[in-house]
Structure 1
Amino acid sequence: MEASSLGSDLPLVRRLEAVGFRAWPAASVAYDGSWQIRLTGGHPSKRLNCVVPLDPSDYRDLDLRLEKARKRFDAYGRALLVRQTPLSPPALIEHLGTKGWSVFETTDVMTVDLTELELPDTLDYLPSHDIGRFIDANLALDGEDPASKSALAEIISSIKPASGFFIKETPQEGPIAVALCVQDNDLAGIMSFAVSPRHRRSGIGTEIFSSALRWARISGARSAWLQVGSTNAPALALYRKFGFRKAYQYHYWHQDARA
């Protein structure tokens, strides 16, 4: 694994990590030094249940701190995960590798300059402020368990920056596309974007995605960011079409077996 900070714009990484935390808030946030420990009992999202080291120089007492974090995760019924960004100490990442940990998922963080992006002059879809309607549509399109509705509602209701919920529905099929855009000062994050399999490649996804970015720009955002699985080729192709480019990657680590 390459050094975590190699070739990265660390001030940009710090800023995107900060807005990312605000855009998808965990129920419980604690700190051990510069390590952020994020836990959410009601929802299994990895972003809401992980340890995120935020200072490359903070790597003292690794075994002790990882064990303390594990106990916190055990109390929530969660497996301990470490999220490696370019801010993670290389010594910690090397330590994880020697202790039987491995990477099981990689995500690209992508950005685009909204001020130079060609977007429609009008919004094809106006943002909704109906959280319940958005959550129902999002769960249906993602195929998630409806029982997670209350937990997802709690997460989305906790988002402090301005949020726009974009929903496309038909009388026959119900929801066919959704997008959630969170505008934090001059940065806008696309937190959820999904299109029904039957309507992919029809232009509907492009329309609703364009509307979310247009709304963000009208509201004062100058840049947009998003996170996408590094192996999700169709999504990556769409985002690149809009001008998004990779700013950095992050990796999730778990321990295959206790050493």
Structure 2
Amino acid sequence: MNDPAVVRTLEERLFNAWPALQTVYCDGWLLRMAGGHTKRSNAASPFYPSTISGEELIRTVRTLYRKAGIEPMVRITPLAGEGIDAALASAGWTIYDETDVMVAPLADRVKMSGAPDAAVVLSEEPSQAWIDGAAGAYELADWQRDMLARIVGAIRVETAFATVYVDKQPVGFGLAVADRGYVGLYDLAVAPAARGSGAGQRMIGALLHWGRSHGAHTAYLQVRKTNVKAHALYQRLGFTVAYDYHCRRMARAG
């Protein structure tokens, strides 16, 4: 766990799979911005070894993100230099969204499990129906739906947009991104009424099968540490934790 080479390999693919609409480079840090939708594309993330101090990083992030109208946020991965997290903590930046990055080998043929009556439809491009359905499943505001459309429309590596149907009704949405031997699973969501039915597991299986057919030897995904049910599902599917990260954001007034 926390092997820098593995972390950098996965982080690079995470950036490609969920692009920012603007990136400012700052001494080994990527200050990514996409209108404030999702922390993945709206946080400063370490990538290369850096000599910047925690205090200077704080000043830079605060200035540039405020200029962009985005909440200043920093992702602390194992690639962050020594003292950065402590400096943010000392400045009152609070921990937000502790997350595990999990991986699973795809050496063997993917077994399709889950609800046998669930049908999964994959598309290489995000249709308006997929965007609207996914936005509804994620309970996004109108501006977030528009930003979701811009972000997924900017992905340049191979993609599969999944919709899972039960009784011809869409009950779940997800996205897989294949990039040089890895397939990442993103934004998996199932309607409350269909949760626990196996529809989500069916969708995951279809996306993993697609990834393997596109040359992936390893799958990866991100899951919040607090999402115990998802953790249990992914562990049953063979995923283990490769590394973890958390975000820090400025303490909110009041």
Aligned-pair CA distance for 1:33: 0.6
Superposition map of 1:132-211 within 5 A: 132-169=128-165, 174-211=169-206
Q: How far, CA to CA, are the matches of 1:124 and 1:257 in structure 2? A: 44
Q: 2:19 aligns to what?
A: 25
Select 2:68's aligned residue among 66, 72, 76: 76
Q: Is the 8 A contact 1:104 1:251 kept in 2?
A: yes
Q: Matched residue of 1:45: which SS?
A: coil
Q: 1:47 aligns to what?
A: 40
Deviations 1:210-248 (A, max 9, x none): 001011111111100000101101111111111000001
Q: Matched residue of 2:197: which SS?
A: coil
Deviations 1:89-118 (A, max 9, x none): 121112222222221220000000011364
| Structure 1 unmatched ranges of 5 or more | 1-6
Paired AA for residue 105 in structure 2? D
Paired AA for residue 8 in structure 2? R
Aligned-pair CA distance for 1:54: 2.3
Select 1:15's aligned residue among 9, 13, 29: 9
Deviations 1:176-220 (A, max 9, x none): 011200011210000121111111111111111100101111111
Deviations 1:34-60 (A, max 9, x none): 01101112x4211111111224x5243
Paired AA for residue 137 in structure 1? G
| Structure 2 unmatched ranges of 5 or more | none
Q: Matched residue of 2:122: which SS?
A: coil
Q: Matched residue of 2:171: which SS?
A: strand
Q: Matched residue of 1:159: which SS?
A: coil
Q: 1:244 aligns to what?
A: 239
Q: C-alpha root-mean-square deviation of aligned residues, in Å?
A: 2.1
Q: Matched residue of 1:127: which SS?
A: strand
Q: 2:228 aligns to what?
A: 233
Paired residues in the alignment total: 248
Select 2:102's aligned residue among 106, 110, 133: 110
Q: Matched residue of 1:90: which SS?
A: coil
TM-score normalised according to structure 2 size: 0.90
Q: How far, CA to CA, are the matches of 1:61 and 1:203 in structure 2? A: 48
Paired AA for residue 53 in structure 1? P
Question: What percentage of aligned pairs have identical amino acids?
Answer: 30
Aligned-pair CA distance for 1:255: 2.4
Q: 1:3 aligns to what?
A: none
Q: Is the 8 A contact 1:186 1:222 kept in 2?
A: yes
Q: Is the 8 A contact 1:162 1:182 kept in 2?
A: yes
Q: Matched residue of 1:25: which SS?
A: coil
Paired AA for residue 44 in structure 1? H
Q: How far, CA to CA, are the matches of 1:97 and 1:141 in structure 2? A: 34
Comparing 44-53 with 57-66, greater Cα deviation is found at: 57-66
Does 2:117 match 1:125? no
Aligned-pair CA distance for 1:136: 1.3
TM-score normalised according to structure 1 size: 0.89
